[in-house]
Structure 1
Amino acid sequence: MESLATTAEALSVHQEINRTSVPFPDEAGVNELFEDCAARHVDAVAVVHRDRKLTYGELNELANGLADVLRTRGVLPGDTVGVCVERSPELIVGLLAVLKCGAAYLPFDASWPDERLRTLFGDARCRRVLTDRNEALSARFPECEVVPAVYAEPPRGRTNPVVPVRSHDVAYINFTSGSTGKPKGVPIQHHAIARLVFGAVYARLDAHARLLQLAPVSFDAATFEIWGALLHGGTCVLYPGKNLRLSELKRVLDEHRVTVLFLTTALFNTVVIEAPETLGGLDTLLTGGEEHSLKHMAKALQHYGRDRLVSVYGPTECTTFATFHPVRELRPEDPALPIGRPIQNTRLYVVDGEKLCAPGETGEVLLAGAGLSPGYLGMPGITRQRFIDRDVAGRPERLYRTGDRAYLRADGDLVFQGRQDDQVKISGFRIELGEVAHHIRSHPTVKQSYVMATELATGEKALVAFVVPHGEDLTPEGLRTHLRTRLPGYMVPSAIHLRASLPLTATGKVDRRVLLSSRPGTTGVTPL
């Protein structure tokens, strides 16, 4: 095993920030942890959705009943079950039922293109789908067995299934954008979920916690929102609508006395500017997914005070959150908001080449600890590139290379400095510009293309594409239609500009500055 070179100064600051080890239940599956919790909190409210409430006892019985149905359909330990259910109690029942079978759940959105979903199902070896859209999905994917998630008389079971589930078994699979044009499957193990929500240093998670479930279940923030409540005896409050309205958000937060909320950076900025009173009743407001605007954070500090805001950071490969930074002040000398220190049972290293960085030196952020994924599904080459083994001052570590650049301040806080590659985050979704460009180039009338992220007048980011067509038949709307059959909506560029050629710099690279200055509407991108 190779060793990282280090100095006394670099080693000292890393040893200080990486004292994060705390006890957590790392030998049990999430299903067992939930069942133990349900036995202790039988009559406590587990899930709230509109005017419906399920106690822990009711939720456990419904999940047992659905697990029996899945097992009679042939679901075995180690299988993968697709889950496509609207945000509802049935969604939570379904996730638990899959785990009670010893299987992993693969959450997906029915609006994603068929071609992309078939790729996901194939990579994850998913042959069954649990859904509330039985006929529609049966017609689209006849190769998959469709299992109903909603019943007029839901099956119940008083006895928990006796299924062997180990803590290192896969609990769920998220897919992220891939630079090669193919999404990457990221399996997450049971013990990684336990590491995220037990002994949490970034928010109070206990039987009194009430968490809002707002994120799409295919987005890894949902892992925190659901299991942060249901493994502690707290309440998971399901946001009632598909589309967010700030007036509705305020009503739900106030009516159900939500204590902890996570918002993506873009949504946080919108709420802070348009309706800051929406979040006034929270104990803890977590926000992350993109680099924070100091202007928006200053307004939030002024409105909410210094003991309620927490910035969080983490890639999917490290199970939702990896670092946290309680925002108590904004120092005039700081050019950016720190992303903080590692959360419990997580370690981070800033590395330049094969050398551990001292404070102030910029390098790549490498993560270690119980939250790491075992690797990408069916991609051994990329797994070897991103997950590496190194010796750090006598300590063997399995490390995930994030591709994020940062430096440590003298006090140990991590400050983000951008990406090493062309990956961007927009509204919390991770997007590889190379994947978008790959699908643009696959159009038969596209000669050249260049995709970038640009900043809107509101401070949010958007994708924009510049395309050199073959002939005169290509239109922006025609290209969007092509992309919508291959990519989720959030990966389709907000604006597509057709050009006779792409300007180049003296070194032969595409000149971003010239492109941006010459596009129509230089003050921002016109949304679809």
Structure 2
Amino acid sequence: MNRNMLSNIVEAITKQAQAHPERIAYDYRGAQYTYRDVEDQSNKLANALDAANLTAGAPVLVYGGQSFQMLVSFLALAKTGHPYIPVDTESSTDRTRLIIETAQPALIIEVADLPFETPAKRIAYHRLMPILSDVTELNFTPDYDLDRAFYVIFTSGSTGRPKGVPISHANLLSFVNWVVDSDLLGPANSLLQPPFSFDLSVMATYPTLVSGGTLKVLPQANTKSFKDLFAMLSQLEVNDWVSTPTFAELCMVDPNFNASKYPTLRSFIFCGEELTVATAAALKKRFPEAKVINTYGPTEATVAITSVEITDEMIANDRRLPIGRVKPDTTVVVRPQVMTDEQGDEILSSGELMITGPSVAAGYLNAPEQTAKVFLKNADNTMTYATGDLGHFDHDLLYYEGRLDHQIKLNGYRIELEEVAFHLRQLPAVDKGVVVPEYGKDHRVKRLVAVVVLNASLKADSDVAMRIRHDLSTTLMPYMVPARILFRDELPVNGNGKVAVKQIAQEVNEA
């Protein structure tokens, strides 16, 4: 890395506010907020939070959508030494309750109204701001401990409980410095489409703000209908596009999604799921001058740790596109795996990707047993994370080959199939049930399928299927609810007496 590296994310944003106070930092549905607004409002909120005498370093949950007040809350909390936990309004009540129960936040800031009661201390943002002091300078000296968590993102968990991943100031610095230094993102208009509860949002947010760029927000509400989606997109004048490949594929349904209609678009940066050859080829055809950049990384290693610009040669020659070259301060080791098939015979699999470096988190929040399974602290105090992802190197390019376990990605969201199955089996209508992915021809997960044995009193029909999906929607995020319900009289078992999940998955995908 050749440029002067940042030593503090929050102070870098403050410097942008000092140098360019009237520059637009955040554009939300036409409401524009300057870097002065970012600094002044986060300082005012930080002063109030500092005076509240919350437990030092305790996390604070921020509940809301993608409004400017979310960003203000995040930065105010960073200034007061409290990691923020973003929870989106699309989260189910049960999931949000579990996050609160696991994280034990010192406070809940309600940018949007929390839809249930909780014993946790809470305060509504709109009630707080009018009573704040007009002082826009910090009345305390921040302590930016690099080892302290900056934020906590909750991901899907195999036990039915979501897992919290605390990302430290040092982790985030490693990521942001790499993104900015490698010119992935910078002082331009960046699309902010993912919700803040999805760590892909971090890729757009902090590299853009430390560089003095503008975040152009595409609210989730505007992605639910094509009319609203394209009406909003056409107004944003985005330079750098950050999303999952699936979202770009959705946009390509419109033949007008091309360079002539979106002349400002100069790069597509993808993360969160596999970028297929077909999608990359279609984008390069529609936007011949734009870069298509593929990246890879788990939440546990701070968003992404590889990147590569996809070339025409890769599209022509590769069955699966590379996920990138590893960032300079990080190493990835491919650990050979020996697995057993359903008959108990050993078979050789692809290698598991082991990530070591300063962007790897220290573990899961309040979950030492889960942490011990996949995190390792090395003698030099660096951390290694066992991803469960399979892959291989071809020279310096890394290629992804799938998952080691039952964790999959659907539309960019990481899902533990056992978490979905756990909630499925809790339903009164269900006697037994498993959840398996159905794959498309591009090797990506097309949808989740629940295979169910009903309780004896029920008859399998479309009404029961609809009821199961409805009941699951009250406990799971929308993207985790199986799109298809299949009924069986019994589930097959293997030689060990366990449900033969692989056999079921094979049958679903061969049907």
Report what 1:367 is aligned to.
355
Kindly tell me: are residues 498 and 144 of structure 1, through their superposed partners in 2, closer, same or farther at Cα, counting changes over 3 Å?
farther
- TM-superposed deviation, 1:460: 5.8
Report what 1:25 is aligned to.
6
Alpha-carbon distance in structure 1 between the residues aligned to 2:506 and 2:146: 53
Kindly tell me: are residues 152 and 93 of structure 1, through their superposed partners in 2, closer, same or farther at Cα, counting changes over 3 Å?
closer
SS in 1 for 2:409: strand
Kindly tell me: are residues 40 and 154 of structure 1, through their superposed partners in 2, closer, same or farther at Cα, counting changes over 3 Å?
farther
- TM-superposed deviation, 1:322: 1.4
Report what 2:123 is aligned to.
146
Task: Compute the TM-score of the two structures, normalised by the length of structure 2.
Answer: 0.86
- TM-superposed deviation, 1:310: 0.2
- TM-superposed deviation, 1:98: 1.6
SS in 2 for 1:198: helix
Q: Report matched runs for 1:206-355 at 5 Å.
A: 206=186, 208-240=187-219, 242-244=221-223, 252=232, 255-275=235-255, 276-277=257-258, 280-305=263-288, 308-329=291-312, 330=314, 332-352=316-336
Instruction: Check if 1:398 corresponds to 2:379.
Output: no
Instruction: Check if 1:36 corresponds to 2:18.
Output: no
8 Å Cα contact 2:469-2:481 kept in structure 1? yes
> One-letter code of the match for 1:157?
V
Q: Which moved more, 1:266-275 or 1:165-174?
A: 266-275
Residue by residue over 1:376-430, the C-alpha shift from the partner in whole angstroms, topping out at 9 and shown as x without a partner, is: 0122122122112468xxx885311110111111x31111111110100011110
User: How many correspondences in the alignment?
Assistant: 485
> One-letter code of the match for 1:415?
Y
SS in 1 for 2:331: strand
Kindly tell me: are residues 400 and 124 of structure 1, through their superposed partners in 2, closer, same or farther at Cα, counting changes over 3 Å?
same
Alpha-carbon distance in structure 2 between the residues aligned to 1:140 and 1:195: 38
Q: Which has the higher contact order (CA 8 A, sep 6+)?
A: 1
> One-letter code of the match for 1:318?
A
Residue by residue over 1:143-199, the C-alpha shift from the partner in whole angstroms, topping out at 9 and shown as x without a partner, is: 332232466858443212423221221111111111122111100111222222224
> One-letter code of the match for 2:451?
F
SS in 1 for 2:94: helix
Alpha-carbon distance in structure 2 between the residues aligned to 1:478 and 1:319: 38
Alpha-carbon distance in structure 1 between the residues aligned to 2:226 and 2:414: 24
Which residue of the other structure, out of 471, 481, 485, is the alignment partner of 1:492? 481
- TM-superposed deviation, 1:60: 0.7
SS in 2 for 1:377: coil
- TM-superposed deviation, 1:316: 0.5
Structure 2 residue runs without a partner (length 5+): 339-348
Instruction: Check if 1:472 corresponds to 2:421.
Output: no
Alpha-carbon distance in structure 1 between the residues aligned to 2:222 and 2:290: 30
Kindly tell me: are residues 157 and 77 of structure 1, through their superposed partners in 2, closer, same or farther at Cα, counting changes over 3 Å?
farther
8 Å Cα contact 1:130-1:149 kept in structure 2? no
- TM-superposed deviation, 1:53: 1.9
> One-letter code of the match for 2:466?
E
Report what 1:431 is aligned to.
415
Kindly tell me: are residues 451 and 76 of structure 1, through their superposed partners in 2, closer, same or farther at Cα, counting changes over 3 Å?
same
> One-letter code of the match for 2:118?
F
Residue by residue over 1:86-105, the C-alpha shift from the partner in whole angstroms, topping out at 9 and shown as x without a partner, is: 32222221211222221111
Task: Compute the TM-score of the two structures, normalised by the length of structure 1.
Answer: 0.84
- TM-superposed deviation, 1:516: 2.0
SS in 1 for 2:372: helix
Residue by residue over 1:219-243, the C-alpha shift from the partner in whole angstroms, topping out at 9 and shown as x without a partner, is: 0011122112211211122225623
Alpha-carbon distance in structure 2 between the residues aligned to 1:119 and 1:153: 31
Instruction: Check if 1:191 corresponds to 2:170.
Output: yes
Report what 1:482 is aligned to.
471
Q: Which moved more, 1:454-463 or 1:216-225?
A: 454-463
8 Å Cα contact 2:358-2:382 kept in structure 1? no
Residue by residue over 1:16-74, the C-alpha shift from the partner in whole angstroms, topping out at 9 and shown as x without a partner, is: xxxx7976334x3x333322332222222212223322221222111111222333443
Alpha-carbon distance in structure 2 between the residues aligned to 1:470 and 1:251: 47
> One-letter code of the match for 1:326?
E
Residue by residue over 1:264-320, the C-alpha shift from the partner in whole angstroms, topping out at 9 and shown as x without a partner, is: 121122223434316552121111322222122212222223651101111100111
Alpha-carbon distance in structure 2 between the residues aligned to 1:143 and 1:52: 32
Alpha-carbon distance in structure 2 between the residues aligned to 1:158 and 1:194: 26
Q: Which moved more, 1:194-203 or 1:94-103?
A: 194-203
Kindly tell me: are residues 352 and 443 of structure 1, through their superposed partners in 2, closer, same or farther at Cα, counting changes over 3 Å?
same
Report what 2:69 is aligned to.
90
8 Å Cα contact 2:95-2:475 kept in structure 1? yes
Alpha-carbon distance in structure 2 between the residues aligned to 1:437 and 1:457: 25
8 Å Cα contact 1:214-1:238 kept in structure 2? yes
Residue by residue over 1:497-519, the C-alpha shift from the partner in whole angstroms, topping out at 9 and shown as x without a partner, is: 2211124578873423664279x
8 Å Cα contact 1:351-1:364 kept in structure 2? yes
8 Å Cα contact 2:390-2:404 kept in structure 1? yes
Alpha-carbon distance in structure 1 between the residues aligned to 2:495 and 2:98: 40
Q: Which moved more, 1:105-114 or 1:143-152?
A: 143-152
Residue by residue over 1:415-451, the C-alpha shift from the partner in whole angstroms, topping out at 9 and shown as x without a partner, is: 1111110100011110011111112222344332121
Kindly tell me: are residues 179 and 274 of structure 1, through their superposed partners in 2, closer, same or farther at Cα, counting changes over 3 Å?
same
Structure 1 residue runs without a partner (length 5+): 1-19, 355-360, 523-528
Kindly tell me: are residues 75 and 270 of structure 1, through their superposed partners in 2, closer, same or farther at Cα, counting changes over 3 Å?
same
Report what 1:526 is aligned to.
none
Give me the CA root mean square deviation: 2.9
Report what 2:436 is aligned to.
452
Report what 1:159 is aligned to.
137
Kindly tell me: are residues 21 and 69 of structure 1, through their superposed partners in 2, closer, same or farther at Cα, counting changes over 3 Å?
same
SS in 2 for 1:373: coil
8 Å Cα contact 1:94-1:149 kept in structure 2? no
Alpha-carbon distance in structure 2 between the residues aligned to 1:342 and 1:250: 35
Report what 1:107 is aligned to.
86
Report what 2:344 is aligned to.
none
- TM-superposed deviation, 1:107: 0.7
> One-letter code of the match for 2:446?
K
SS in 1 for 2:107: strand
